Amino acid sequence: MQPMRILVTGGAGFIGSHLVDRLLAQEHTVSALDNLSTGRPENLSHLCSHAAFQLVQGDILDVGLVDRLVAEADMVYHLAAAVGVAHVVRDPLGGLRTNVRGTENVLEACARYRRPVLLASSSEVYGRSRRIPFREDGERILGPTTVTRWAYATAKAVDEHLALAYASQEGLRVSIVRYFNTYGPRLDPQGYGSVIARFVGQALRGEPLTVHGDGKQTRSFTYVDDTVSGTILAATKDEGAGEIFNIGSRRETSVRELAEQILVVTGSRSPIIFLPHEQVYGARFEDPPRRRPSVRKAARLLGFRARIPMEEGLRRTLEYFQ
Ligand SMILES: NC(=O)c1ccc[n+]([C@@H]2O[C@H](COP(=O)([O-])OP(=O)(O)OC[C@H]3O[C@@H](n4cnc5c(N)ncnc54)[C@H](O)[C@@H]3O)[C@@H](O)[C@H]2O)c1
Domain count, the chain: 1
Q: Hey, which residues are catalytic here? A: 152
**Which residue range(s) make up the domain with 33?**
5-182+223-250+293-307
Residue 258 lies in a domain: no
pLDDT at 85: 75
* Ligand 1 center–CA 271 separation, angstroms: 31
268 Cα to the center of ligand 1, angstroms: 30
Highest mean pLDDT among 56-60, 198-202, 280-284: 56-60
Task: Supply the pTM of this predicted model.
Answer: 0.96
Provide the pairing of β-strand 218-219 with 253-254: antiparallel
- Angle, helices 14-25 vs 224-236, to 10°: value is 60
Amino acid in the structure at residue 249: S
Q: Looking at the predicted structure, is the pLDDT value of residue 192 above 90?
A: no
Mean pLDDT for 85-94 is 86
Is 190 part of a structural domain of the chain? Answer: no
Tens digit of each residue's pLDDT (9 = 90 or more) over 8-21: 999 999 999 999 99
Assigned domain for 312 exists: no
Distance CA 140, CA 128 (A): 7
Number of helices followed by number of strands (H, E) in the chain: 12, 13
- Local confidence band at 283 (pLDDT 50, 70, 90 cut-offs): low
Whether residue 287 lies inside any domain: the answer is no
pLDDT bin (cut points 50, 70, 90) of residue 1 is: confident
Residue 109 in any domain: the answer is: yes
For residue 163, how many other CB atoms are within 10 A of its CB?
Answer: 26
Instruction: Give distance in angstroms: CA of 187 to centre of ligand 1.
Output: 11
Q: Considering the domain boundaries, does residue 234 fall inside one?
A: yes
DSSP 112: H
Whether the CB of 69 sits within 6 Å of ligand 1: no
Residue 229 lies in a domain: yes
The CATH number of whichever domain residue 23 belongs to comes to: 3.40.50.720
In the 8-state DSSP scheme, what is residue 46?
A: G
In a domain, 209, yes or no: no
